[in-house]
């Protein structure tokens, strides 16, 4: 397996606490994470050792994992296991989300460490997902 990193940054027209809440508060997450996919459910316990699960069961996909680091308003690090037709992948990736002030907004940077074979698909998915982030912040 060849490891690679996908790194994308999205500017959000909101202060850092609002951008942080968009990633850590389940109700805020539900406003943007796959919000256009019918039947999507969002569960998140954003604390070290806490779990999350975002699933679009009707569409047959989702993601689940565990929070490894939660540095208030600064950084989230969590594991990432893809769900396909209700079955969790055996592959566990790592995702880091960083938050930085940018004038009147916030820069949200996502770094996804994954197998090179799946990197292109994840990059497309992250771009589409991050484009929805301003909906919540």
**Residue 135: which pLDDT band, with cuts at 50, 70 and 90?**
low
Please report the sign of the dihedral spanned by the C-alpha atoms of residue 71, residue 111, residue 11, residue 137.
negative
CA dihedral 109→112→113→119, nearest 10 degrees, is -130
The residue among 117 and 27 whose pLDDT is bigger is: 27
Domains annotated for the chain, with CATH where assigned, are 3-135 (3.30.530.20)
Strand-pair partners of 66: 51
pLDDT tens string 24-74: 999 999 999 999 999 999 999 999 999 999 999 888 999 999 999 999 999
Backbone angles phi, psi at 10, to 5 degrees: -125, 130
pTM: 0.94
Residue with tokens 């460490």: 113
Within a 10 A sphere around the Cβ of 103, how many other Cβ atoms? 8
- Radius of gyration from C-alpha coordinates of the chain: 14
pLDDT tens string 69-99: 999 999 999 999 999 998 999 989 999 999 9
């Amino acid at each position: 397996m060849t490891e690679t990193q996908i790194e994308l940054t999205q500017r959000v027209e909101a202060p850092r606490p609002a951008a942080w809440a968009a990633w850590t508060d389940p109700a805020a997450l539900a406003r943007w994470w796959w919000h256009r996919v019918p039947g999507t459910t969002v569960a998140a316990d954003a604390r070290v050792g806490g779990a999350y699960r975002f699933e679009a069961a009707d569409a047959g996909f989702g993601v689940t994992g565990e929070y490894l680091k939660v540095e208030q308003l600064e950084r989230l690090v969590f594991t990432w296991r893809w769900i396909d037709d209700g079955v969790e992948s055996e592959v566990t990736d790592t995702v880091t989300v960083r938050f930085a002030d940018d004038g009147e907004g916030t820069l949200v940077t996502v770094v996804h460490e994954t197998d090179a074979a799946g990197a292109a698909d994840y990059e497309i998915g992250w771009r589409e997902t991050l484009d929805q982030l301003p909906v919540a912040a």
